Amino acid sequence: MADWIYVLNPLKDTLDGEPSDKETMHRLAEEEPELEFWLSRRNRMRPGDRLWFFFTHPESAVAAVARVDEEPWEDPDGPGTSYLVAATLLPEATKALYRDPVGRDELALGQVRSVQRVKPEALPVLLARAGL
């Protein structure tokens, strides 16, 4: 199993027309947890991997988590070479992260890319804070 940081900028990104902020993700985890997320490249995600959602604004922190349901696939309607990945938000873990997000400094992040692997030293903090 691999763990991935998935960056969402609430000022630019949307989830089906809604802001991609931690409040929306918290609500979706309860109401509609099965989602598809856009990827600029395929990545090597596998079912069972985790996506940790890092919100860039107003606080730079991880405040939601999902389980990858399927390997990424090409988006037939996407521009150029874009991909989609199906994932299910984990309600209890997302609720825990919503209450107590993991800040950028705790993640040992350098340059933030749209999707990147979680650094090994950050994983215990994420798991503990999410109650996993």
Q: Which of 87, 88, 100 is nearest to 128 (CA)?
A: 100
Predicted pLDDT at 81: 65
**27-81 pLDDT per residue, tens:** 999 999 999 998 888 788 999 999 999 999 888 999 999 999 999 999 888 777 6
How far apart CA 32 and CA 36 sit, in angstroms, is: 11
